[in-house]
Amino acid sequence: MDGGSGPGPEPVTAAGPSPAPELPPEADPDVEPLPRGGFRCRLCQVAAANRPSLAEHLRGKKHQRLRSLRAERRAQEQRSLFVSGFARGTAAEELAAYFGAFGEVAAVVMDKEKGAYAIVELREAASRERALAQPQHALAGRSLRVRPREQKDFARPSPGRGARREPLGAGQLEQALCQAADVDAQMEQLVGLLELSEGERRLRHLLVTLFQEVFSEFFPGCAVLPFGSSVNGFDAHGCDLDLLLDLEPTKSLQTSARGAPGAGSSGDPGAEESILSDIDLASASPPEVLELVAAVLRRCVPGVRRVRAVPTARRPVVKFSHKQSGLAGDISIDNRLALHNTQFLRLCGEADKRVRPLVYAVRLWAKQQGLAGNPAGGGPLLTNYALTLLVLFFLQTRSPLVLPTVARLRELAGDEDRVVVAGWDCSFPRDAALLEPSANSESPSSLLAEFFRVFGDFDFSGQVVSLREGRALPLPEVGEPFKLGSLNLQDPFELSHNVAANVNEKTASRLGRCCRAAAKYCRSLQYCRKSTKGRGWGLARLFQPGAVEPGAGAGSFLISIPLAATRPPEQLCEEPGGCGFKEICAAIAFVLRDVLQCGCAPGKPQKQVGGSGAEQSLPEDPALGEEPRGDAAGLEEEPLQPPVGSKRPQPDGTDSAALPGAKRPRVNGPEEEEVAASWSCAVWHRVWTGRRRLRRQLLHGASPEEPDGDPLELEQKVSEAIVQHEGAARPPEPLLRFEASARLAGGTQREPRVLLRLAPSPAPGPLFRDFFHFLQAFLPSALRRHLGWGPGAAPQS
Ligand code: ATP
Ligand code: MG
């Protein structure tokens, strides 16, 4: 949340323009100083370079108009009542007639959606006082709750739709990044492209205010406190809204009211009607309180949808979404530690200007690689919180260090910053100005490259990442109840908590592998130098899913299909029998052609140079352990090009009958040919959109005798339904064209897999990327199904 949105003291009686301030302009409560002698007017969201231009702004029409508007709103609020407790369906006129007894009513605004409350605006503040002075109110036999309307921070009226920036599509992001002068500029730009706009921040602020207003009705004294990415400095378009509902003050009020002689409840008139009247918050169980919170959200907050309590989460929450803003959110009732780790993240982001660009770059990279996300209800991926901690840890371990350790921060904390929450010391300075500036002068782009190098070579399961100490701790140093796993990342405050306990072995090893591939890419000229030929370079290419995996070339995308551990490459090459490479290639063609209804013609046979025979263990995959060849100088012209997985036309054009486009595997030394298969593919319909819904419909429509059909048959029907829906007839041109080629990778000691390379033509746009993302998830599980390798999940899309 924008901490700077508070309007400061404001005269509320005068509705007309206020006289120009006579105090020095910087003494104006709307003004905050900026570094280097600048100022910001919080009211107008305008920066001024110096005092004279600030004074000019404060005298200007725009500022005066907003001051006047704010004063008017304040006055209006002071004449308004917040009324609830009336029967559903009560008309605004009935309320106007009722409150008319206290003075003239200017307006009644009903909560249209739920009819749970109304704002009644009276003409005179004195009328409101009369209404508030009356101890009991009743309308049509129901007792009304009547309160002063809450004073909101004044939100500058939106200048129009332009203020709400639309999230950029992948293609636009790439284009924008490619315009930058160098990678440092790309990183800076990335932050600007992803962070919340002022309008989005305001919207979140308004929502929090709405929640506060409604919850205060039911839980007197409660506080709604935002935490997480909306306020920790690492916000991005569409990030969720994490809220803590602090009920401690309500519990105290309730306890003291119950203890008071003659008081049956909070002592509040009408409280016997309150949702709280028969619940003692202090003794209620967390699931009971969550249900109560969920009930208030469902019944009383306009626009709130899909409310569900999740009492089993490590930190129980109520999830919701908000219709008008499209935001998803969580309300927790017991996560005070998160308020502090949020402030810690914010402090780190403010401590050094390289932190935010680095975190944004790593987050987007990890998301694009399918390493991080925020799977609802858990999952084996890293959370954004865990990733951010990894970046902060990395910065604590640079020499000279970029960020201090948490232990050092504790030493720097003043008395007012000393906090212990649930037994954990959360003391650190809340103000970044109290930190020593870093002596480290590395550029953001070289820090990013170093991040990949460090974590490409990191023993995730054999040690514990400690931000408190700024070093990796040996396992025995972290005792019970810390849950050791494949990635051990100690929370900076709750030291017994492994923030990455959900990350499984596969994700942890993929993280290492992707870091190695990215580190290698960062040593290439394509990373360091702006492309003069309009190709993706720097961050733009780093973010392309699969583009910097070993084996992918410029403009091509790689899908890695892990094979069952019981089938090492030696067996895959045995012919006939077993599930050989040919069979896998045939299955790939089957999924593309028959299941997804794509055009898939055998392409020219491929040969690869410099690779191994399938039996060999990935000499073509330098990111898996070996240092890349030919980069002694630290830079490689085309590290992702030949000899790694290069695609050259086969001179003789020999086709295998069973698998056109494939050559038989041979046990070759380096620099000889290896097996590969290729296809020319065309996608005619958007077979990747709306599959989930169609799948559900088809399953519901299935007759009871055939509910458990072949899952791939179902997928086939889903594709057919999409084709039908789009008008069955083929469009004159396919939506997408690409060349696909498959090869084996992995040896006996490493995870064997088939690498499927897609080379779109023309250059990939957002549509191809959508298709690629879909296929990346869909193909491996569809192949598992088709080849009968264990149960395998139903293909997801
Ligand atoms: P985003 O919502 O953009 O993915 P986020 O930082 O808000 O990023 P959430 O998963 O929404 O991530 O979590 C909200 C906040 O809750 C985090 O910022 C952090 O303060 C806290 N949090 C999340 N996961 C953990 C955890 N495993 N341990 C401790 N605190 C956590
Ligand atoms: Mg969040």
* pLDDT interval class at 388 (50, 70, 90): very high
CATH 3.30.70.330 residue ranges in the chain? Answer: 79-148
Contacts of residue 374, defined as CB under 8 A and 6 or more positions apart, other chains included, come to 240, 383, 384
Structure tokens belonging to residue 236 = 């991005």
Ligand 2 centroid vs 555 CA: distance in angstroms?
33
pTM, two decimals, is: 0.60
pLDDT of the residue at 270: 42
**pLDDT of 602 above 60:** yes
Ligand 2 centroid vs 374 CA: distance in angstroms?
8
How large is the average pLDDT for residues 410-431?
Answer: 96
How large is the average pLDDT for residues 732-754?
Answer: 77
CB-ligand 1 contact for 426 (6 Å cutoff): no
CB-ligand 1 contact for 195 (6 Å cutoff): no
Q: Are 745 and 752 spatial neighbours (Cβ–Cβ below 8 Å)? A: yes
Contacts of residue 213, defined as CB under 8 A and 6 or more positions apart, other chains included, come to 82, 150
How large is the average pLDDT for residues 124-149?
Answer: 91
How large is the average pLDDT for residues 192-202?
Answer: 92
Nearest alpha carbon, ligand 1 atom 31: 338
Q: Which atom of ligand 1 is nearest to the CA of 341?
A: 20
How large is the average pLDDT for residues 263-276?
Answer: 48
Rounded CA separation 298/47 (Å): 41
* pLDDT interval class at 43 (50, 70, 90): confident
Nearest alpha carbon, ligand 1 atom 8: 229
Ligand 2 centroid vs 280 CA: distance in angstroms?
30
Contacts of residue 385, defined as CB under 8 A and 6 or more positions apart, other chains included, come to 228, 341, 499
Q: How far apart are the first and last CA of the chain?
A: 34
pLDDT of the residue at 569: 52
How large is the average pLDDT for residues 153-165?
Answer: 47
CB-ligand 1 contact for 230 (6 Å cutoff): no
More confident residue, 470 or 746: 470
Domain 352-403+438-528 of CATH type 1.10.1410.10: yes
**pLDDT of 577 above 50:** no
Ligand 1 centroid vs 385 CA: distance in angstroms?
5
pLDDT of the residue at 4: 36
Tell me which ligand sits closest to the C-alpha of residue 238. Answer: 1
**pLDDT of 158 above 50:** no
CB-ligand 1 contact for 549 (6 Å cutoff): no
Ligand 1 centroid vs 366 CA: distance in angstroms?
16
* pLDDT interval class at 295 (50, 70, 90): very high
pLDDT of the residue at 108: 86
**pLDDT of 193 above 80:** yes
C-alpha dist (Å) from residue 756 to 569, 627, 742, 749, 771: 15, 23, 4, 21, 14
Most ligand 1 atoms within 8 A of CB, residue of 196, 200, 242, 362 to mutate: 242
pLDDT of the residue at 677: 86
Rounded CA separation 695/711 (Å): 10
**pLDDT of 441 above 60:** yes
* pLDDT interval class at 438 (50, 70, 90): very high
CATH code for residues 79-148: 3.30.70.330
pLDDT in tens, 355-370: 999 999 999 999 888 8
More confident residue, 620 or 424: 424
Q: Which atom of ligand 1 is nearest to the CA of 497?
A: 28
* Candidate ranges 54-58, 145-149, 186-190, 686-690; pick with highest mean pLDDT: 186-190
Question: What whole-number percentage of the chain has pLDDT above 90?
Answer: 44
pLDDT of the residue at 717: 92
pLDDT of the residue at 780: 87
How large is the average pLDDT for residues 59-82?
Answer: 86
Question: Comparing 42-46, 651-655, 710-714, 769-773, which segment has the lowest mean pLDDT?
Answer: 651-655
How large is the average pLDDT for residues 145-160?
Answer: 66
pLDDT of the residue at 655: 31
Partnered with residue 473 across adjacent β-strands are 464
Q: In terms of CATH, what superfamily is 203-250+282-349?
A: Beta Polymerase, domain 2 (3.30.460.10)
**pLDDT of 68 above 50:** yes
φ and ψ of 23, to 5 deg: -70, 165
CB-ligand 1 contact for 383 (6 Å cutoff): yes
More confident residue, 63 or 260: 63
CATH 1.10.1410.10 residue ranges in the chain? Answer: 352-403+438-528
Mean pLDDT estimate for the chain:
79
* pLDDT interval class at 331 (50, 70, 90): very high
**pLDDT of 749 above 80:** no
CB-ligand 1 contact for 116 (6 Å cutoff): no
**pLDDT of 256 above 90:** no
How large is the average pLDDT for residues 445-457?
Answer: 97
CATH 3.30.460.10 residue ranges in the chain? Answer: 203-250+282-349
Strand 80-84 to 46-48 pairing: unpaired
